[in-house]
Structure 1
Amino acid sequence: MASTLRGATSSVCRSCLRLLRTPPPSRLVLIPGRRLFHTSPGWRAFGEAYPNTPSAPDVAATPPERPPHIRPLFNLPSARRSSLRLSRQDLVRVEERLEDRDLPGGYAAWLEVSDPRHRDGEPISEQVTDEVIKPVVELLLEGLIEEGPQHSELPPAAEFLETLRSMALANDSQYRLLLTSMLRQGKGPELVSPVLDSAIQYYKEDHFRAGARRQTVEGEEETSEIDRDMLWSSLRWGFRLASSPSAIASTIYLAFLHTMEVATQHHKDLERTLFSFPQLPNAPFLGKYMAHHYFEEEMQTRLVKLADKFEFKKLLTVPALLQRATAQYTDGGRLKDYYDSLRTQAEDTGIPFSEENFMVFVMAFMTLTEREVAIEIWNDMARSGIFPKPRSWNMLLTEAGRLQDRDRSCLQAVWKTIITSGVIPDVILWTTRIHALLMADRKAEGMKVLKDMQKSGLKPTTATINAVLDGLLKNGYMNEAKKTLLVATGMGIKSDLTTYNTMLRALLRSRNFDEAISLLREMQAAGIDADIVTATTVLDGLYKNSPTKPDLTKVRNLLEYMEAAGVPANEVTFTTIIEGLLETGNEQAAQDIWMIMEFKGLKPTPATYTTVIRYAFSKGDLLGVEKLWQQVEANRVPKDQKLWTRLAVGYAQMGEVERLRSVMAAMGEEGRILPLSAYTLILRALEKWELYNDVKEIVKDALEKDMISSDGSSRGPVERMFWQTLERVAEGAVLMDLKAQGLVTV
C-alpha cells in the first residue's frame, strides 16, 4: 500500500509486505496468442498475404509461447465431429483425381468414400481426423467454384458447402473462399444471401460449441462453453485483424452489404450486431481488400458506397456515436453546420432522422446555451411528424435544470412549452422539475411545486421523495428533509436503499453519528440490504467528520455489521470501498480498510493495485508507485492488462520516459502489448512534456507491432483518434519528420 494513503512519500504499509509473501493459489488463464494473427508465423502459414501485411517470416518457424490473454480464438475447431470413417487411402483417391484436373472423377470418388455404406462396418487401422479431411474437401470446393459450372452433373458449390456444414466439415476458410468468389464474379444478392445465412448459421450452431480452451498454471486444459453470441465477438476480432488470412469477417461484411436488399432474419440479426462494433472496416480499406481479390470495378464502387451508407445508418442508429460526434463541437455555428449536413445526407440516402437523433442535437445546443437553436431543432422534429415522447421532454427539462446558474428562466420556459404543447406532465416530469429547483437552492419554489403536483392529482413516489431529499440535503436543509421523510412515511411511501444512503450521508456530514447508526438499524429492520455505497458513505463520513481517528476495532465491527446487513466481505468489495474512499481523498480510511482486508486473510487483487497506483500517480508519488510495484512482484500478483496500462500511462503522464520504456520492455517479455488507446494517451502525455523524439519512438513501436497502418488509414475510431492526436503533436512537425524518414505515408 502506497504511503500516499498516509499523505507521505517516504514509507509504505509494512503490513502489506508481511502478508504479500504468501504464494498465490492456482489460477486458470485462457490460452492466448503472443502476436496478432497477421504477424504470427503460425497463422500466416495457413493463407496468403493481404494488403498492408508485412512480408511473411519463415512459416516453418515455431509459433511463440502464448501468454495469458482473453479473446475468442478465430479458428477454433467445431465441437461437432463428423461421422465419416475415412483412411488415408480414401483421401488419396480423391486427391489424385483432383490433381489430374478430373473434377467429376474427384467428386464421384468423394461421394463413394463419404457414403455411410462405403465401409459397412469394416475396421480402419489408420482413420484420419476431420482436420485432415477438411483441406481435401476444400480443394474439391475450390474446383466446384472455378470449374463446376462447366459440368452439369456436378452440384453448385454453395450446395456442396451446405452439405459439408451438415456433415460438420465446414470451416472459416471454405466460407471465405465461396463468398469472395461469388462477390468477385458479381453474383446477384439473391444467390449470395443463402450462403451468407449459412455462414452465420455455421458460426452460431457449430463453430463456438467448442468453447474456449483454458489452461491452468500446472499445464492442464479445461473447456468452457461459449454462448452463440460469441460469433459477434469473433467477428469483432476479425474486423480488427481484417488484413489477416482469417479475414472471414471482412468477407462476411462485404456479403452483408451486397445483400442488404434481401434482408433475411439472419441478415437483420447481423445488422443489429454490427451496430455495436466500434471498428468496422472503412471504405478505403474495403477498396484495397477488394482490389487484392480482383473484384470488378463496378462491384468495388457499389460496395464502397454501401459501406458509407451503412456507416451513416449506424451513426443515426446508435445514439452514443452521434453524441460523441456532437460533443466535439464547442462552437454553436459549426455544430449547426454539422446538423444541416447530416439532415441533407439523411434526405439523400433515404434514412430519416429519428427522435433520438433530434434530441442529441437539442441537448447539445442546450449545453452550449443556444436555447433558440435547440427550440428550432425541436420544431424540426415536430415538422417531421415526430411527437416527442415523455422521455424526450424529461431530457429537455433535466438539461434546463442544469443550466439554471447560467439561464435561470430556462427551466420555467421549458415547463411552459410542455404545458402549451398539450402534454399532461406525469410523475417523472414533476419529479425532474422539483429536483432541479431544489438543487439550485430554490427551496421555496421547489416545495411549492411539490404541493402543485399533489394538487394535480398525482401522488409522489419513492423516487420523488428521494429527489426532494437529495436537493434539500445538498443545501443543508436537514430539518426540512426529516419533515419530508416523516410526511412521506405517513402517506405510505416506502423508503428504499437510495433514501437511506442519502440520509446517512447527510447525517454523517453533520456529525449525527448516533442518528446514523439508528438509521442503519432501521434499514436492516426494514429488510433493505446495504450496498457498497452504504459502506463507503459510512466509512467516509466516520473518518472525515469524527473529531478523532476512529479506533480500528470499531471500524472492523462496523464492517462486520455491514456484512450482516448485506455487504459481502470479499476482495471486490474491499477494492471498491478503497476506490470510493480515495476518490474523496480519504487516505487514512483507505489505509485502514486495506489493513482490515489483510487481517481477514483477503489478498489485494490486480484491480486493488490498479486503483491505488492510479491514486499515487494523481498525487505525484513516484516512490509510492515503485513500492507498490515491488509488492506486486514480491507477491506474484497476476499483472492484467489494466494494471500494465495504468503503470505505463501513469509514467508517461509524469514524463518518466525511462520508466515507461522499462514497463513496455517488461510487457514484451511477458508477451503483452498495450492497447492502441493507451498509445494515444501516451502520445498526449509526451506532447505535454514536449518529448517529441519519444513520441516518434512510440509511433515506431506501434508500427512494428502492426497496430497501425503506415499509410494512415484507420480501421476504426481508435486508430483514427491515434492519427488525429499525432497530427496535432508539435503542430504536425513530428508527423512530417516521420514522413521524411519514410516510416509513414500519410
Structure 2
Amino acid sequence: MPPQSRLVLVSGQRSFHTSPRWREFGEAYPNTPSALDVAATPPEELPQGVPHTRPLFNLPSARQSSLRLSRRDLERLEKHLEDRDLPGGYATWLEISGPRHGNIEPTSEQVTDEAIKPVVELLLEGLIEEGPQHRELPPAAEFLETLRSMALANDSQYRLLLTSMLQQGKSPELVAPVLDSAIQYYKEDHFKAGARRQTVEGGEETSDIDRDMLWSSLRSGFWLSHSPSAIASTIYLTFLHTMEVATQHHRDLERTLFVFPQLPNATFLGKYMAHHYFEEEMQIRLVKLAEKFGFKKLITVPGLLQRETDQYKDGARLKDYYDSLRTQAESFGIPLLEENFMVFVMAFMSLAEREVAIEIWNDMARSGILPRPRSWNMLLVEAGRLQDRDRSCLQAVWKTIITSGVVPDVILWTTRIHALFMADRAKEGMKVLKDMQNSGLKPTTATINAVLDGLLKHQHMDEAKETLQVATRMGIKSDLTTYNTMLRALLRSKKFNEAISLLQEMQAAGINADIVTATTVLDGMYKNSPTKPDLAKVKSLLEYMEAVGVPANEVTFTTIIEGLLETRNEQAAQDIWEIMESKGLKPTSATYTIVIRYAFWKGDLLGVEKLLQQVEANHVPKDQKLWTRLAVGYAQMGEVERLRSVMAAMEEEKKTLPLSVYTSIVRALGRENLYDDVKEVVKDALEKDMISSDGSVRAPAERMFWQTLEEMAEGTVLMDLKAQGLVTV
C-alpha cells in the first residue's frame, strides 16, 4: 500500500497543509510524518533519574481491534476521501466496519490496525471540517468515541479533534466530554496491558496501570514541549478551557497536573496556540487560565510555596513577594489557605522579624481563618529556636495564644516546656510544668521526654534521673525515646554499667530496641571508652540487639554505619562493616554511597577510588544515589576529569542525572573557579533539553539552575555563553 496521503478536507479548494500560511512555517501539517513527528517521538531516557517510566507515546493500543479489513476495502475508503466525497466515504466506512467484517478469521489480505488508523483519521478530519454541512453525518466527537470503542483511536486523533474544537471556540460544555474520552483512553485503553518500567539494574518490569500512567504520558509529552504537535499540550489547554465544567476525569487530571513539575509556561502556550491559529481572544483567555492554575497549584501542593520562600534571605524582598501573592489571590479569586499564611509566618520568624510575622498572622485572622493548634505549635517551636536572639519571643507568643482565646492543650504546653529546657532555662521550665498540672492537664510521656531532652543536653544528669523517678511515681510510662535519650547521656558520661542496666530494664519493660538504640550504644562504646572495644563484645552487643528486636540484615548494618559516620566514628563503622561481611552480608549500593560520601568529606580521593574498585569487583549495581554522590563529590573537589568519566560511564549505561544535580555540579565547579568546565556542563544540559536556551522556566529546578549561573563570577559566565550563541537568556 502506498504511503498515506494526508489530505485534509475543507470547504475551500486548497488543502490546509499546502496553504501559504503553513508554508510560512516551513513545515508540514502536524499530522504528516515530518520533522515535528520525529521531534514528538520521546527519547529513550529522560533526565529525571531512575527508576522511571519509559515514555508511553506512540505505543500501539493495548487492545486490538476485532475489525478485519482487506487492503481493497481500505483503498475504497481512501479513494472517496481523496475525491473529497465525505458522505460516500462515511457510507463506505459503515459498510466495511459492519458486523460481517468483525470476528472473522484473519487472512493474508488483512491490513493491521496501525494501517487502518491513519485512514480513519482522514475521515475524522473530514467530519471536523465538513461534517456540519451534512446532516446525515455524525458529529466528529461521536465518531471518535466509536473509534475508541473499536480500539482504533490514537493520540493523533484526540489531538486533532481537541485542537480543532479549541480553534473554533467551542463551549467548555461541548469540549469536556471529548477531554473525558481522551483521559479514559490514556488510563484504560492505551495502557491496559501494563507499563514497562526500567529498573536501576537496567532490566524491565511490568506494573499495573493507574492514574500514574497518565502522569507518565503527560510527563513525556510536556518534556517535548518544543513540539507544536505534542498531545500533552493539547490536553493541558483543553483542561484549562474546561475548568468550569469539572468532571471526575477532569479532577483526576488536575491531581495529575498538580504533581507534574514542568507545566508549559505562558510563553510556550502562546507560541503553541499561534502555531495552531487560535483566535486571539482564546489565546488570551487560556494564558490567563494557565496563570490561574499555576497559582492554584503553588498554594495547594505542599512544599511548593515553601521552596519559593526559601530563596529569600532578605526580609524586604520576602515581604514584596508576600504582597504580590496576596494581590494575585485577590485577582484570581482564590483565597490563601492557613498553610500558605503559615509558610510566611515561619519564614519571617526564622529571619527574626517577629513584627512582620505577627502582621501576617493578623492578615490570616482578618481573612476569617481560625488558626488550628498545629499552627500555634509551629509558632511556639520557632519562638523557642529564637531564644538566643530574642529571649522574650517565647513568652510573647504564649501570651498571644492566651489572649486569642485558645485553651492550650498538652501538645502546646509540651512544646513550650521543651523550648525552655533546651535553652537551659530549667527553673522556668519546671515552673511551667507545674502551671500545666495546675491547669488540669497531666504530663504525658512526650512531656517527660521533652524535659529529659533539655536537661541532658546541658548535662543535668541528676535532675533528669529525678524527673524520671517522679514520672514513674505518677504512672507515666517510659517509651523507646525515653530510653534512647537516657542511654545517650549515660554513655556520654562514661557510665557503662548504668547503660547496660538500663538496656536490661528496657527489655524487661517489653520495649524493643531499634537501630537508633544500636547506633547510640555502639557510638558511646567507641567514643567514651578509654580503649577500643573488643570485637567479640561488639558482636555480642549486636546479637543482644537482634534478640530484642533489631534485625541483622544489610539495611540494618548500612543504617548503623551511616549513623556512626555522621558522628565521625570511623573506627566503629569499620568494625561494623567487618562484622557485616563476617555474617555473609554483602554491602549494597546504599552502603557504598554512605562510605564514599564520608570519604569525599574527608578529602580522601584514594579512599574513594578503592571503594569504587570494590564496587566493580563485587559487581554491585550503581543506583542513582551512588552516581549522584560520585558526580557531585568529584565536582566539589575540582576533579573535572574524574567527573567527566563518571558522566561518560552514565551515558554508556543510559543513566542521566536530574537537573538539580547539574546545579550542584555547576555550583561546585564555580567555587573552584573552573568556569570553562561550567560552560561544558551547561552545553550538556542544553543538548539533553534539560534547560531551554532562552532561559524560560518550566520547573523550580530550572529557575535554580539559571539563578546559580547568573550569580556566578558576577555574570561573566552567562555573558560568555551568550556571546557564543549558546543561550539567549
1:290 counterpart residue number: 273
Gaps in structure 1 of 5+ consecutive residues: 1-43
1:387 matched to 2:370 = yes
Alpha-carbon offset, residue 299 of structure 1: 1.6
Letter in 2 for 1:734: V
Instruction: State the distance in 2 between where 1:393 and 1:216 align.
Output: 44
- Residue 161 (str. 1) matches residue 144 (str. 2): yes
Counterpart-to-counterpart distance in 1, 2:696 and 2:124: 34
Of structures 1 and 2, the one with the larger relative CO (CA 8 A, separation 6+) is: 1
Distance in 2, matches of 1:553 and 1:255, equals 68
Match of 2:569 in 1: 586
What SS does the aligned partner of 1:152 have?
coil
Cα drift, residue 216 of structure 1: 9.5
What does residue 74 of structure 1 align with?
A: 56
Q: Tell me: CA distance 1:591–1:220, structure 2 relative to 1, closer, same or farther (3 Å).
A: closer
Q: Does 1:610 align with 2:610?
A: no
| Alignment-derived partner of residue 727 in structure 1 | 710
Is 1:696 aligned with 2:679? Answer: yes
CA drift at 1:419: 0.9
2:23: which partner in 1? Answer: none
Q: 1:548 maps to what in 2?
A: 531
Between 365-374 and 495-504, report the one with greater CA deviation: 495-504
Q: Is the 8 A contact 2:211 2:252 kept in 1?
A: no
CA contact (8 A) 1:168 1:206 kept: yes
SS in 1 for 2:695: coil
Measured against aligned partners, the alpha-carbon deviations of 1:490-537 in whole angstroms (never above 9, x if no partner) come to: 333333332222222222222233333333344344443333222222
Q: 1:485 to 1:104 in 2, by over 3 A?
A: farther
2:358 is the counterpart of 1:375: yes
Match among 486, 498, 519 for residue 536 of structure 1: 519
Q: CA deviation at 1:214?
A: 5.8
Matched, 1:97 2:80: yes
For 1:696 and 1:636, locate their aligned partners in 2 and report how far apart those are by CA, in whole Å.
34
- Find the counterpart in structure 1 of residue 699 from structure 2: 716
Counterpart residue number, 2:478: 495
- Aligned match for 2:544, one of 561, 565, 569: 561
One-letter amino acid of the counterpart of residue 308, structure 2:
A
Larger mean Cα displacement after TM superposition, 413-422 or 378-387: 378-387
CA distance, structure 2, for counterparts of residue 233 and residue 215 of structure 1: 13
When residues 742 and 217 of structure 1 are mapped into structure 2, their CA distance, relative to the original with a 3 A threshold, is closer
Output the TM-score relative to the length of structure 1: 0.87
Residues 225-253 of structure 1: CA distance to partner in whole angstroms, max 9, x if unpaired? Answer: 24333322432343233235873222221
Q: Residues of 2 paired with 1:455 and 1:218: CA distance?
A: 61
Instruction: Supply the AA of the counterpart residue of 1:186.
Output: G
Task: Give the aligned partner of residue 626 of structure 2.
Answer: 643
Uncovered stretches (5+) of structure 2, i.e. residues with no partner:
1-29
Q: Which residue number in structure 2 is paired with residue 138 of structure 1?
A: 121
Which AA in structure 1 matches 2:447?
Answer: T
Cα distance between partner residues in 1 of 2:44 and 2:428: 71
**CA–CA distance in structure 1, aligned partners of residues 482 and 372 of structure 2:** 28
Distance 1:555 1:347, change over 3 A: same
The CA RMSD over aligned residues, in Å, is 2.9
Show the counterpart of 1:405.
388
Please tell me whether residue 507 in structure 1 is matched to residue 452 in structure 2. no
Q: Which stretch of the first structure deviates more once superposed, 501-510 or 617-626?
A: 501-510
In the TM superposition, residue 69 of structure 1 has moved relative to its aligned partner by 5.1
1:31-42 mapped onto 2 (5 Å cutoff): none
For 1:225 and 1:521, the matched residues in 2 are separated by: 48
Q: Judging changes above 3 Å, is the alpha-carbon distance between structure 1 residues 220 and 575 closer, same or farther for their aligned structure 2 residues?
A: closer
Task: Give the Cα separation in 2 of the matches to 1:365 and 1:406.
Answer: 14
Query: Is this contact kept in 1: 2:173–2:242, CA < 8 A?
Result: yes
Q: 2: CA distance between counterparts of 1:221 and 1:689?
A: 40
1:415 is the counterpart of 2:384:
no
Q: How many Å apart are 1:680 and its aligned residue?
A: 1.3
TM-score, normalised with respect to structure 2: 0.89
Residues 25-57 of structure 1, C-alpha deviations (whole Å, 9 max, x = no match): xxxxxxxxxxxxxxxxxxx9996545xx9x969
Instruction: Provide Cα deviations, 1:623-682, integer angstroms capped at 9, x if missing partner.
Output: 111111122222222122222221111111111112112222222222333222222112
Residue in structure 1 matched with residue 159 of structure 2 by the alignment: 176
Partner of 1:194 in structure 2? Answer: 177
Greater alpha carbon shift after TM alignment, 71-80 vs 331-340: 71-80
Does the Cα contact within 8 Å between 2:261 and 2:698 map onto a contact in 1? Answer: no
2:159 and 2:561 mapped to 1: Cα distance?
50
Q: Alpha-carbon deviation of 1:400?
A: 0.7
Residue correspondences, number = 696
In terms of mean alpha carbon deviation, does 714-723 or 510-519 score higher? 510-519
Give how far 1:150 is off: 2.7
Contact 2:228–2:272 (CA under 8 A) maintained in structure 1: no
Q: Bigger shift: 361-370 or 661-670?
A: 661-670
Structure 2 counterpart SS, 1:261: helix
| Aligned mates of 2:436, 2:613 — CA distance in 1 | 60
In the other structure, the counterpart of 1:264 is 247
Distance in 2 (CA, whole Å) between partners of 1:379 and 1:91 is 71
1:1-400 aligned at under 5 Å gives the runs 48-49=34-35, 70-75=52-57, 76-118=59-101, 121=104, 124=107, 129-213=112-196, 223-244=206-227, 247-400=230-383
Q: Secondary structure at the match of 2:615?
A: helix
Residues of 1 paired with 2:690 and 2:577: CA distance? 38
Q: 1:743 and 1:460, CA in 2 relative to 1: closer, same or farther beyond 3 A?
A: same
Decide whether the 8 Å contact of 1:240 with 1:715 is kept in 2.
no
Distance 1:362 1:444 in 2: 30
Distance change in 2, residues 1:491/1:250 (3 Å): farther
User: Which range moves more in the overlay, 673-682 or 488-497?
Assistant: 488-497
Closer, same or farther: CA 593–105 of 1 in aligned 2, 3 Å: farther
Please tell me whether the aligned partners of residues 319 and 357 of structure 1 are also in contact (alpha carbons under 8 angstroms): no
How far apart, CA to CA, are the structure 1 residues paired with 2:625 and 2:454?
37
**In the TM superposition, what is the alpha-carbon distance from 1:119 to its structure 2 partner?**
5.2
Cα pair 2:52 2:198 within 8 Å, conserved: no
Q: 1:154 to 1:574 in 2, by over 3 A?
A: farther
Shift in Å, 1:125: 5.2
How far apart are the structure 1 equivalents of 2:79 and 2:547? 74
Contact 1:48–1:245 (CA under 8 A) maintained in structure 2: no
Code of the aligned partner of 2:495? N
- 2:144 touches 2:157 (CA, 8 Å); kept in 1? yes
